[in-house]
């Protein structure tokens, strides 16, 4: 029987992890063979040809961190053969290097302080260091004099024979197939297990065997190369050294936006490392909004006002998102006097509702909870929901649209949402389906629909639904109190830019189910403690609420004790 969908192994099988690996390898060999080199295909075939014991042990190593392992730390009683025998086979078949060169760092990761201390005791004593050095300090001291890699026998001539260290040879290949299968490197073998355990549930969306994350090998290579760049940055490597290895501009929009984000991070690091010219170049090459703004701010700080002004003006002449307009107008306001231009006319932002509360400072709990306690009554209960409520109402109403089996949207059984969720054309590809769901808001059928979906899909992952904060009573209250016209306005803005508009909602929502006016049965409240301030995207939602007549306000909290002093 041909498997159209990889199904995780039962955990009753003691070799469940091997079955999962076999499933993944077979899936890749069947559906991604054209993205592999001849050599890689042969290697995978050789893997599948290994006997159970060695294959299982190799899988265990692939699933663990790093490439180096002490043989005496590989203890897997479920194997059908002794570990030593499986190891021999793997060495003979070229999967393991039995005598790898180890750096000092490798050595210190593999062996404990107690094991290392006697080996370096004499040397440290000669240098006049105390015997009780910690592991990190000891490694620092040894780093320079012992910077050359050595085989284990040369590091530990005394006690070394008790232990062997092996190096996994083909980790890059296993990372590559994991990437091709999942379409990312954040998911892994453990996703199979979490599903079996019931910790995670994913919607079952049909996908054709032909649907996959990558169409060309060059795309996979590009992803892997950018991933390496990011890792190097995280390890503190200077931005100048990483920049030459960043792939050039790419056509694939998904990879292009990943590249934009990488360049933003690279630019940040460059700036922090004092490489201003590099930062400018890198940020200019990123299409990311924050990168563009950062480039302008850096020019401003370097007093290159004319340059910044020119770019900013050019940018402002294009179609701007709310966020761009917001960031750009702040810049233009500062730049105008520097270049002798007129102050740009201020955009007429609607005023926001505000009020101040003075509360006793609670010993425990957050400022949001303190405000909630104070504001909530039996007739007007208050909930601390932030983004979760509106997002959930949207996710539940539009469930079938979100999980519509479009080409390229789903390609393995472990998707939280469609792969193209934050891509430019996500909504356009589903416009009719969304409109159809929104029509339910006009007929009143949406309440039933949302509550039914809440019951039927309980616990199943959805990028808009955070299950632990929801319950039926909250949903019913929300559906009673929030007019459907408001919901439609909120949902349409959300769809307008999912990435930017799924967050920034106020902390609290207050329901007044018995209010006369249907428009006044609820109110959203953003709480700000002393020293906190509204974030940009919070302001943008609040301004939207104000323009739409959606009740919302900002609650500034002061602590009673501070006030006496202040």
Question: What is residue 354's DSSP assignment?
Answer: E
Tell me whether residue 12 or residue 122 sits nearer to DNA (CB atom): 12
CB of 540 to DNA, least distance (A): 11
Cα-based angle 19, 21, 27 (whole degrees, multiple of 5): 100
| Residue labelled with tokens 């890059």 | 172
CB of 548 to DNA, least distance (A): 19
Residue 281-320 contact track with DNA, rule CB under 7 A, x = bound: -------------x--xx----------------------
Binders of DNA in range 340-369 (CB under 7 A) = 366-368
Look at residues 275, 283, 271, 272 and name the one whose alpha carbon lies nearest to residue 308.
283
Residue 488-527 contact track with DNA, rule CB under 7 A, x = bound: -----------x--xxxx-x------------------xx
The site for DNA, by CB under 7 A, has a size of: 72
Q: Among 8, 9, 17, 550, which residue interacts with DNA (rule: CB under 7 A)?
A: 17
| Residue labelled with tokens 């990190």 | 136
The site for Mn ion, by CB under 5 A, has a size of: 2
Contacting residues for 224 by C-beta, under 8 A, at least 6 apart: 175, 176, 179
Look at residues 254, 211, 234 and name the one whose alpha carbon lies nearest to residue 423.
254
Look at residues 310, 289, 298 and name the one whose alpha carbon lies nearest to residue 268.
298
Would you count residue 261 as binding DNA (CB under 7 A)? yes
Contacting residues for 424 by C-beta, under 8 A, at least 6 apart: 253
Beta bridge mates, 358: 558
Question: By the 8 A CB rule, do 423 and 165 touch?
Answer: no
* Helical segments of 127-189, H only: 135-143, 152-155, 171-182
Taking the CB of residue 94, how many other CB atoms lie within 10 A of it?
11
> Is the Cα torsion angle 118, 122, 124, 130 positive or negative in sign?
positive
Would you count residue 387 as binding DNA (CB under 7 A)? yes
CB of 532 to Mn ion, least distance (A): 6
Tell me whether residue 78 or residue 237 sits nearer to DNA (CB atom): 78
Q: Among 53, 327, 395, 551, which residue interacts with DNA (rule: CB under 7 A)?
A: 327
CB of 557 to DNA, least distance (A): 9
Would you count residue 15 as binding DNA (CB under 7 A)? no
CB of 555 to Mn ion, least distance (A): 9
Question: By the 8 A CB rule, do 85 and 57 touch?
Answer: no
Look at residues 71, 72, 146 and name the one whose alpha carbon lies nearest to residue 108.
146
Select from DNA, Mn ion, none the partner in contact with residue 55, using the beta carbon and a kind-dependent cut-off of 5 to 8 Å: none
Find the distance separating the first CA and the last CA of the chain, reported in whole Å: 76
Would you count residue 134 as binding DNA (CB under 7 A)? yes
Tell me whether residue 114 or residue 317 sits nearer to DNA (CB atom): 114
Would you count residue 162 as binding DNA (CB under 7 A)? no
Q: Among 527, 539, 542, 557, which residue interacts with Mn ion (rule: CB under 5 A)?
A: 527
Residue 314 has phi, psi (to 5 degrees) of -60, -40
Number of residues that this document lists for the chain? 566
Would you count residue 171 as binding DNA (CB under 7 A)? no
Select from DNA, Mn ion, none the partner in contact with residue 186, using the beta carbon and a kind-dependent cut-off of 5 to 8 Å: DNA
Q: Among 90, 507, 523, 553, which residue interacts with Mn ion (rule: CB under 5 A)?
A: 507
Tell me whether residue 300 or residue 446 sits nearer to DNA (CB atom): 300
Question: By the 8 A CB rule, do 266 and 239 touch?
Answer: yes
Look at residues 121, 130, 132, 46 and name the one whose alpha carbon lies nearest to residue 89.
46
Tell me whether residue 441 or residue 527 sits nearer to Mn ion (CB atom): 527
Tell me whether residue 91 or residue 357 sits nearer to Mn ion (CB atom): 357
Question: By the 8 A CB rule, do 528 and 496 touch?
Answer: no
Binders of DNA in range 91-130 (CB under 7 A) = 112-114
Binders of DNA in range 177-236 (CB under 7 A) = 183-184, 186, 190, 193-194, 197, 199, 213, 230, 234
Cα-based angle 214, 218, 220 (whole degrees, multiple of 5): 45
Tell me whether residue 128 or residue 198 sits nearer to DNA (CB atom): 198
Q: Among 56, 86, 419, 441, which residue interacts with DNA (rule: CB under 7 A)?
A: 419
Tell me whether residue 37 or residue 208 sits nearer to DNA (CB atom): 208
Binders of Mn ion in range 140-199 (CB under 5 A) = none
State the DSSP H helix or E strand holding residue 382, giving kind and residue range, or none if neither.
Answer: strand 382-384
Tell me whether residue 298 or residue 393 sits nearer to DNA (CB atom): 298
Per CB under 5 A, the segment of 154-162, 195-203, 417-425, 505-513 that binds Mn ion is: 505-513
């Amino acid at each position: 029987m041909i498997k159209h969908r990889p199904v995780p192994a039962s955990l009753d099988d003691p070799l469940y992890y091997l079955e999962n690996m076999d499933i993944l390898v077979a899936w890749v060999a069947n559906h991604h063979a054209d993205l592999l080199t001849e050599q890689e295909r042969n290697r995978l075939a050789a893997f599948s040809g290994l006997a159970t014991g060695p294959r299982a042990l190799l899988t265990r190593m692939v699933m663990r961190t790093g490439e180096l392992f002490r043989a005496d730390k590989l203890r897997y009683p479920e194997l059908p053969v002794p570990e030593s025998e499986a190891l021999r086979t793997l060495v003979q078949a070229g999967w393991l290097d039995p005598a790898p060169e180890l750096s000092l760092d490798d050595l210190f990761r593999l062996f404990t302080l107690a094991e290392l201390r006697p080996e370096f005791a004499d040397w440290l004593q000669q240098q006049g260091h105390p015997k009780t050095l910690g592991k990190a300090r000891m490694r620092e001291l040894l780093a320079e004099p012992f910077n050359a890699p050595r085989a284990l026998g040369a590091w530990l001539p005394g006690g070394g024979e008790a232990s062997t260290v092996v190096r996994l040879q083909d980790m890059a290949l296993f990372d590559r197939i994991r990437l091709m299968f999942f379409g990312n490197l954040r998911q892994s073998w453990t996703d199979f297990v979490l599903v079996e355990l019931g910790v995670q549930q994913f919607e079952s969306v049909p996908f054709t065997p032909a649907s996959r994350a990558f169409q060309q090998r060059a795309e996979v290579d590009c992803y892997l190369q950018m991933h390496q760049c990011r890792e190097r940055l995280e390890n503190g490597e200077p931005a100048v050294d990483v920049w030459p290895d960043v792939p050039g501009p790419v056509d694939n929009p998904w990879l292009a936006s990943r590249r934009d984000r990488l360049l933003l991070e690279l630019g940040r690091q460059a700036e922090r490392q004092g490489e201003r010219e590099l930062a400018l170049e890198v940020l200019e090459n990123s299409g990311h909004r924050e990168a563009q703004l950062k480039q302008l701010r850096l020019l401003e700080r370097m007093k290159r006002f004319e340059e910044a002004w020119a770019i900013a003006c050019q940018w402002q002449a294009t179609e701007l998102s709310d966020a761009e307009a917001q960031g750009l107008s702040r810049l233009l306001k500062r730049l105008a006097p520097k270049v002798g231009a007129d102050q740009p006319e201020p955009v007429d932002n609607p005023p926001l509702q505000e009020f101040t509360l003075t509360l006793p400072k609670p010993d425990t709990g957050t400022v949001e909870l303190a405000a909630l306690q104070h504001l909530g009554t039996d007739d007007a209960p208050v909930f601390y929901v932030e983004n979760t409520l509106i997002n959930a109402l949207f996710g539940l109403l539009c469930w079938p649209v979100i999980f519509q089996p479009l080409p390229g949207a789903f390609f393995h059984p472990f998707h939280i949402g469609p792969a193209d969720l934050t891509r430019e054309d996500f909504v356009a590809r589903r416009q009719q389906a969304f409109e159809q769901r929104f029509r339910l808001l006009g007929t009143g059928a949406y309440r039933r629909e949302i509550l039914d979906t809440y019951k039927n899909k309980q616990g199943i992952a959805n990028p808009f639904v955070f299950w632990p904060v929801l319950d039926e009573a909250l949903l019913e209250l929300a559906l009673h109190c929030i007019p459907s016209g408001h919901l439609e306005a909120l949902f349409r803005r959300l769809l307008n830019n999912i990435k930017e508009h799924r967050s920034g909602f106020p902390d609290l929502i207050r329901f007044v189910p018995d209010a006369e006016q249907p428009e006044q049965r609820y109110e959203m409240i953003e709480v700000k403690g002393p020293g906190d301030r509204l974030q940009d995207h919070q302001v943008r939602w609040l301004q939207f609420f104000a323009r739409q007549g959606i009740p919302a306000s900002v609650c500034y909290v002061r602590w009673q004790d501070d006030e006496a002093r202040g």
